[in-house]
Chains A and B, each alone.
Chain A
C-alpha cells in the first residue's frame, strides 16, 4: 500500500516571549492509506504542532510528504477539524457545510446536494438555517465534521475534536465519528489527550515524548469495532492496550516534570 503521509526528521522551533522553543525534534512517522492514527502524549509535547505541520499551516524543517509530494501549504486533500471556534459564525449551518464546495466553484445545486446529504449524516436536519451561536458544543463539532467532509478530503486531520465537550457528548460524538469512518475509510490522523478515546477509535496509537517531542512508542490496536460500545470497551483487548498506552503516556509525562 502506498504511504499516504510520510513524516521524516521534522523539527519545529517557535519564537515565544520566553525566547526560542523547540517544539518538535526529529519526528518520524509513516501513515498508510486508510489508517486511523492517534497521536497521544503529555501536554505541550507538540502533537498539535505536528498535526498543523501535516496540514500545511506551519512550516518546519524536515520532510513531510502526502502521496509522495512535499507539503507546500494547506490543501483540499487534507480536511481539518479543530477543537473549537473554527466554524464561521456569520454563516448558517448549511452555508458552513457548503463552504468548501462553493469556494471551489461547484454549481450551486451540487453544493446544496452535498450539504443536504451531510446534514442527514450528522443528524442535524431542521437546523440547517441556524447560526453557530444557537448550537450546543456537540452540534457545532458535528457541523465542523460535516464541513470537513463536504470537501471530500482523502485525509482527515482532527485536533482534539471532542476536547471541549462534556463526557457524555464526547462519547456520542466518538460513536458518530467511528460510524462515519467505518463507512468512508479515509486516512485519519487525530490528536487527543484522552487515551480511552485513542484506543476506542484508532488502529494505531503513537505516543510522543515530552517537549521537544518525537514519537517514542507505537501501539497497534486490533479491536472488532462492529459491536456496541459496551462490547468494545469491556473487551480484554481494549483494556490491555488501554493500560499499556496510558502507562506509556504517564512515563513520558513524568520525564517532562523531571526536566
Chain B
C-alpha cells in the first residue's frame, strides 16, 4: 500500500517536473532582469499576488461568479440537450424540425450571440448563463443523438423479447448506451462553458474572473492579472479532471477502459 502511494507521488513529480523547470528558468530570467517585469512578472511575484487574491475576496467572488455561470449554463444544457438529442434520435419529425436549428448553431461562432443577448437581456448573470446554455446545448445534443442512434438493433430486440415497454427501453437501454457519448459531449461542453462565460464577462460585465483579468490589465497590476489568469486555468483544469473522474466512475463497464479479459476458457 505504502509502496503504491510512493509510486504515485514519484510519478506525479516526474510529470510535473517540466513545469517546475520552466518556472525555474522563468524566475531566473526575471531575477536577472533580462526581461522587464512589467511585461513578464516573476513567478514569485505572481505567486504572491495569487496568495493575496486568495486570502481576500477577489478570487472567491469573481471566480465564483464565473463558475456559477459556466456550471449553471452547462447543467441546464445537459438536461435539455439530452432531452433534445433523444427526441431527435427517436422521431424523424422532431429531427427534421430541430435539425436546421441545431445545424445553424453548429457553424455559428458561439460568442457571436453575446452582443445580441446583451441587447435583449443586458449585462449580468442572465446573459452569461444564457450564452453558456446556448453554446453547450449543441455538443450535448449531437453526442446524445449519436449515442442513441448507435444502439445496436440486437440489444433493443433482446430487451423487447423480454417484455420491456417503450418507456423501459428508453431509460434502461437507450440512455445507458448513450452515456459514454453524453459524457464526451459534456467534456466538450465544459470547455465551451468556460470560454463563453469568460468571453461574455470580458465583453461586458461587472463581475467575474474575465472582468477581473481585464481590470488588472487596465490598471497595470500585471502581477495580479497573471495571477487571475492562473487561477482560472487551474480551476478549469480541476473541473475537467473532476468530470473525467465522474465519467470513469459511471462508465466502469465500458470496454474503452483498460479492462481485464478473463481468459480463453469458454
A and B touch in the complex (CB under 8 A): yes
With a CB–CB cut-off of 8 A, which chain B residues contact A133? 253-255, 257, 259, 261
Contact, CB under 8 Å: B262 / A139: yes
Tell me the bound Cα distance from A202 to B60 in angstroms: 73
The 10 closest A-B pairs by CB, nearest first: A138-B266, A100-B162, A74-B160, A169-B266, A86-B154, A131-B253, A82-B154, A90-B176, A133-B255, A76-B163
With a CB–CB cut-off of 8 A, which chain A residues contact B155? 85-86, 88
Closest chain A residue, CB of each to CB of B160: A74
Tell me the bound Cα distance from A74 to B160 in angstroms: 6
Q: Is B99 an interface residue (CB 8 A)?
A: no
Contact, CB under 8 Å: B162 / A136: no
Tell me the bound Cα distance from A172 to B266 in angstroms: 7
The chain A residues found within 8 Å of chain B, CB to CB, are 52, 55-57, 73-76, 78-80, 82, 85-86, 88-91, 99-100, 103-104, 127, 130-139, 142, 144, 147, 151, 153, 157, 165, 168-169, 172-173
Closest chain B residue, CB of each to CB of A157: B161
Tell me the bound Cα distance from A139 to B158 in angstroms: 17
Contact, CB under 8 Å: B152 / A85: yes
Q: Is B11 an interface residue (CB 8 A)?
A: no
Q: Closest CB of chain B to A238's CB: distance in Å?
A: 23
Contact, CB under 8 Å: A90 / B253: yes
With a CB–CB cut-off of 8 A, which chain A residues contact B266? 136-139, 142, 165, 168-169, 172-173
Q: Is B260 an interface residue (CB 8 A)?
A: yes
With a CB–CB cut-off of 8 A, which chain A residues contact B163? 75-76, 100, 103-104, 151
Closest chain A residue, CB of each to CB of B156: A57
For chain B, residues 163 to 208, give those with C-beta under 8 angstroms from any C-beta of chain A. Answer: 163-165, 168, 172-173, 176-177, 179
Contact, CB under 8 Å: A89 / B160: no
Q: Is B30 an interface residue (CB 8 A)?
A: no
28 A-B residue pairs with Cβ-Cβ distance under 8 Å, sorted by A, are A55-B157, A57-B153, A74-B161, A75-B161, A76-B162, A79-B161, A79-B162, A86-B155, A86-B157, A86-B158, A88-B158, A90-B179, A100-B162, A103-B163, A103-B164, A104-B162, A133-B257, A134-B259, A134-B260, A134-B262, A135-B262, A138-B265, A138-B266, A151-B161, A153-B161, A165-B266, A169-B264, A173-B266
With a CB–CB cut-off of 8 A, which chain B residues contact A55? 157, 161
With a CB–CB cut-off of 8 A, which chain B residues contact A80? 157-158, 161
Contact, CB under 8 Å: A131 / B252: yes
The chain B residues found within 8 Å of chain A, CB to CB, are 152-155, 157-165, 168, 172-173, 176-177, 179, 252-255, 257, 259-266
With a CB–CB cut-off of 8 A, which chain B residues contact A138? 265-266
Closest chain A residue, CB of each to CB of B253: A131
Closest chain B residue, CB of each to CB of A101: B162
Closest chain A residue, CB of each to CB of B252: A131
Q: Closest CB of chain B to A132's CB: distance in Å?
A: 7
Beyond A127-B262, A130-B262, A136-B262, is A82–B158 a contact (Cβ under 8 Å)?
A: yes
With a CB–CB cut-off of 8 A, which chain B residues contact A153? 161
Contact, CB under 8 Å: B265 / A136: yes
Tell me the bound Cα distance from A230 to B157 in angstroms: 36
Q: Closest CB of chain A to B255's CB: distance in Å?
A: 4
Q: Closest CB of chain B to A136's CB: distance in Å?
A: 6
**Which of B153, B159, B266 neighbours the largest number of chain A CB atoms within 10 Å of its CB?**
B266
Tell me the bound Cα distance from A88 to B157 in angstroms: 12
Tell me the bound Cα distance from A80 to B102 in angstroms: 38
With a CB–CB cut-off of 8 A, which chain B residues contact A137? 266
Contact, CB under 8 Å: A136 / B253: no
Tell me the bound Cα distance from A143 to B257 in angstroms: 21
Closest chain A residue, CB of each to CB of B163: A76
With a CB–CB cut-off of 8 A, which chain A residues contact B260? 134
With a CB–CB cut-off of 8 A, which chain A residues contact B158? 80, 82, 86, 88, 144, 147
Q: Closest CB of chain A to B62's CB: distance in Å?
A: 40
Contact, CB under 8 Å: A73 / B262: no
